[in-house]
Structure 1
Amino acid sequence: MTDVPFTRTETPVLEPITMINAFTVPVEESERFLRRWKSNAEIMAGKPGFVRARLHQSLINGAELRYVNVAHWESGAQLEEAQKDPEWYANTLQMLNDPELHIQARPSIYEVVVEVEPGARLLP
Structure 2
Amino acid sequence: MILTRRTLSLTATAAFLGLAAPPAIATEPEKAELVTLINAFEVPADQVEETILFWEKARDFLQTQPGYISTRLHQSLSPDAKFQLVNIALWKSPEAFQSAIRKMHESGLGASERKTVFHAALYKVVRTDKGD
Question: What TM-score, normalized by structure 1, do the two folds share?
Answer: 0.78
Q: Determine which of 104, 109, 113 is the counterpart of 2:122.
A: 109
Structure 1's 46 and 11: CA in aligned 2 closer, same or farther, altered over 3 A? farther
Find the aligned partners of 1:72 and 1:51 in 2 and give their Cα distance: 5
Find the aligned partners of 1:51 and 1:116 in 2 and give their Cα distance: 21
Q: Determine which of 62, 72, 96 is the counterpart of 1:54.
A: 72
What percent identity do the matched residue pairs reach?
A: 26
Residue 43 (1) aligns with residue 56 (2): no
Which residue of the partner structure matches residue 10 of structure 1?
23
Which residue of the partner structure matches residue 67 of structure 1?
85
CA shift for structure 1 position 39: 0.5
Q: Determine which of 26, 32, 38 is the counterpart of 2:44.
A: 26
Which consecutive residues of structure 2, in runs of 5 or more, have no partner in the other structure?
Answer: 1-11, 16-20
Structure with the largest fraction of helix = 2
RMSD: 1.9
CA-to-aligned-CA distance 1:12-42 (integer Å, 9 cap, x gap): 4422100111100122211111111110111
Which consecutive residues of structure 1, in runs of 5 or more, have no partner in the other structure?
Answer: none
Find the aligned partners of 1:104 and 1:30 in 2 and give their Cα distance: 12
The alignment covers a number of residue pairs equal to: 108
One-letter code aligned to 2:76: S
User: Which has the higher Rg, Structure 1 or Structure 2?
Assistant: 1
